[in-house]
Structure 1
Amino acid sequence: MQGAGAPRRRGPYSREIGALGRPGVILLTYALVTLGLTCLFMRFSIMPYLTRRLGLDSVAFGHLQTTFGALQLLGGPVLGRFADRRGARAAFTLTFLASSAFYLLLAAACSPALPGVALLYATPLPVAFMQGMPVAQMTIADLSEPQELPAALGRLGLCFGVGMIFGSLLGGTLSATCGMHCPATVALVANLVGAVLSFTFIPVSTKGASAHDRAVPAGGPQANVFDLKAITRLLLQSGVLPVFLIKVASSLPFGLFMVMFPIVSMDFFQLDAAQAGYLLSFFGLLQMVIQGLVIGRLSRRFSERALLRASVLGFVLVGPAMALMSDVLHFCLLMPGLVFSLCALNVVTDSMLTKAVSAADTGTMLGLCATVQPLTQTLGPTLGVLLYRSFGVPVFGHVQFAINLLVLLVLWRQPVPRKKDVR
């Protein structure tokens, strides 16, 4: 068992990386993540309008979103453990096939000749395995040196921003010009292409030989990917649970605000659908720049714990300003601080948690990290609506300030190691 600060040993790879080589596999991983995220954000330009066209109200849409969050909450750790035990190729292929099944159901629900409501309620079935980000993070972590890990994980934020911008614009354009079935069909074809690329070019395993031997003992039975005890046991390892709780607590207030963002943009900011899309594109552009370019450079100059403190401090400072904002211009001025804090928190905690476990468990650990957003998506509709109706938009700023101030006080009592020069 390795401690939080212990570097992970990397032995020779247990499978051939293939004709692409290590850099090629890394670039292909970034490309597959961008493809998956583009399709994901195309979904947001379909489902709300399809729900309305089928005669369902916002409450039904909220229940559908809660179901999505609950299934992703359960599927993240299981998919991560599947990636640890079966390899990156199998996990990526499974992810794209599950996404293909989802968009097939969504495209069928858009057809007037088919029972749209029943098909729409069937779309959450494959959602548990539609999580390519933990698999990509595991692949990048397996192929990166420990000192390069924060920067490598930060570049995935560049993929997130590109996918968010192009997915939102492409989905909206295709829906307006060709109908709602068109972006669903395009996403279906794109995910089938992703499945073929994954099965053809992603190596069977990116784990080191020693890690693979620990994952599957010689002559022993295959480990059960649904072993929840083995999954939760990771949280009890040294240095894991405190960082994981910090990740959950710090990101929860802003996550609640983002769950309520469609309502806030319509009722509080008075934005139409196109203006809300532009605002989300600006959010994606900021995340692309900060997480893809800024966080990596900062990680080479400062320690991870110092960056973690900076991210929490950013949430604390922005909280009161969120409580005082009165229009969309104020929110745009606050967004760089929010995006920096969110990106730094995600990258640093993912890196720290990955280093805290053995190389054989990186996928499972990153799958646990991926449950934070689905947890917010599961609790957010109920808790967010209650807070919004009772106290209005300022309550999200107050909650963000209070929770992150407590987290900052906890972090401030712990020593910050100096960043060592890597030569």
Structure 2
Amino acid sequence: MTALLPNTIKIGSFEVSRPIAFTYLLTIFYNVTFFLQFSATPYLVKHLQLSDADFGYIQTIFGVFQMIGGPLFGYVIQKFGIRYALHLCYLSTLCSGLALYFSFDYYSLLLSRIPVVFMHGQQAHQTLLSALTTPGKERTSAFGRMGLTFGIGFIFVPIFSIAATKLGGDLAPLLVSAALCALPSLVLETCIEKKSYEHEISTDNANGPPPQINITNVVRILQKPGVANVMIKKNGGVVPFIMIIAVLNLYIIEKFNATNTENQIMQMMMGVFIMFSNGFGVIWLRKKFDEQTLLIIGSLSFVIGYTLFTFVFFNFWMLLVIMPFVSLGMSVVATCADSLLTALVDESEQGIVLGTATSLNSLVRTFSPLFAGYLLQNYGFQSLTLLGIVGSLLAISFMVVSPVDENLIKKHKTD
């Protein structure tokens, strides 16, 4: 990184403002800490000699707490500010890592999941980016580059995990994760000034107090013109992808006798493809098309990926052909939908609408292993990929028949 102007930083060929650049750095640090815990948890379960059913219950509790925490964390952002919410997120992640490491039985492991209620780094960082950018091209590109940081973090996780395991055993990544949580807090306090985004919040608060977090306000926000419309379009292709990911490891082990090394390779492949599709694909496409057109392009990419899954997934290495399309679909649809959602609501409601979207995804992740496992066992892997094709085609049809009124988006751009 080389400084060009007092408030500008150049990262490779990209020139971005200093607060946005350090927001990307926060995202990388957080993704590494979060996924270090996620990848080490199965080894902890094995160390405690718990059953697969126990692990399933723990994962379900994790999903329920995340689902509950999404809107609650959005309220924390609006009530106490983005800075406070970010520190709470990092502190909760630190507590989670330590609680996991010191778990000694099933019940202590369950208790260790309580901090995940406030572990919503993506939601917090998206809200910070929303305060630092304007709706439309700038915000979509910023969200896309945040996806690039997700891929970078995903690639670093195996490196930290392998090094920590070599030095301290299978549970060492949990301690490394807890220690690394200090880095994003330090960067936030020393490198991102409050004045870089507080003007957005103070202007919006002048129009009235921030909305309270309750079912009535969540429903009210969902009923705002275009919000539910975008939510439906987003999840048509995304939900089947979450279900496929829930059982993909199991399927490739059973179908192709994949080793643990090949599983790690698959995870790194996903990280690389997501990194490039978010960091370069979304940004390049946004220069050519608006968000609503990109939703159609992303859904078409989903259709191609799911079709390849259905008809040509006869070898482990076919993932090299399939995953670019699925990753591009996920990156484009998720990024553009979240950008549109923040453009369709008031500034004070962005945390809540992103929290609601996060909770819906957490709800799917909570129950997807159950439903996806049932479909896999009774109807085969192709039942999931066919569901993806149908869901994506229905989403495209809805995009064509019922586009979001451009005047709604333009109104929030000019407010």
State the TM-score, normalized to the length of structure 1: 0.87
Partner in structure 1 of residue 36 of structure 2: 42
Judging changes above 3 Å, is the alpha-carbon distance between structure 1 residues 127 and 105 closer, same or farther for their aligned structure 2 residues? Answer: same
CA deviations on 1:290-334 (whole Å, 9 max, x unpaired) are 101121121121111111011111222222321121221222211
Q: Decide which of 135, 139, 152 is 1:149's aligned counterpart.
A: 139
Distance 1:400 1:380 in 2: 13
Give the equivalent residue in structure 2 for 1:385.
373
Equivalent-residue separation in structure 1 for 2:76 and 2:105 (angstroms): 33
The residue aligned with 1:315 is 302
Aligned partner of 1:130: which letter? M
Greater shift in the superposed pair: 115-124 or 129-138: 115-124
Q: Does the 8 Å contact 2:305/2:323 carry over to 1?
A: no
Match of 1:212 in 2: 205
Matches within 5 A, 1:123-272: 123-146=112-135, 147-199=137-189, 201-204=191-194, 206=198, 207-216=200-209, 224=212, 226-272=213-259
SS at match of 2:113: coil
Secondary structure at 1:271 match in 2? coil
Residue in structure 2 matched with residue 10 of structure 1 by the alignment: none
Say if 2:63 and 2:362, in contact at 8 Å, map to a contact too. yes
Which consecutive unaligned segments of at least 5 residues does structure 1 have?
Answer: 1-18, 110-114, 217-221
Structure 2 residue 339 is matched with structure 1 residue 351: yes
What SS does structure 1 have at the residue aligned with 2:50? coil
Corresponding position of 2:413: none
Q: Residues of 1 paired with 2:247 and 2:134: CA distance?
A: 39
Give 1:358's aligned amino acid: D
- Of residues 50, 57, 60, the one that matches 2:51 is 57
Q: Distance in 1 between matches of 2:87 and 2:296?
A: 37
The aligned residue for residue 275 of structure 1 is 262
The alpha carbon displacement at 1:381 in A equals 1.5
Q: Indicate the residue corresponding to 2:101 in structure 1.
A: 107
- CA deviation profile, 1:313-363 (whole Å, cap 9, x unmatched): 122222232112122122221110000111000111011111000112111
Question: How far did 1:27 drift?
Answer: 1.8
Q: Structure 1 residues 375 and 215 mapped into 2: Cα distance closer, same or farther (>3 Å)?
A: farther
Normalised by the size of structure 2, how large is the TM-score? 0.88
Say how many residue pairs are matched.
391
Q: Which has the higher contact order (CA 8 A, sep 6+)?
A: 1
Provide the C-alpha distance between the structure 2 equivalents of 1:401 and 1:118, rounded to a whole number of angstroms.
41
Range that drifts further, 152-161 or 53-62: 53-62
| Residues 373-412 of structure 1 mapped to structure 2, 5 A cutoff | 373-412=361-400
Query: Contact (CA 8 Å) 2:236, 2:394: kept in 1 or not?
Result: no
Q: Deviations over 1:164-189 (max 9, x none)?
A: 11012311332244212321111111
CA deviations 1:75-129 (Å, max 9, x no partner) are 11221222123211101000001101100101212xxxxx343322212101010
Cα separation, 2, equivalents of 1:93 and 1:200: 13
Residue type matched to 1:175 in 2? Answer: T
Identity, % of aligned positions: 24
Structure 2 counterpart of 1:14: none
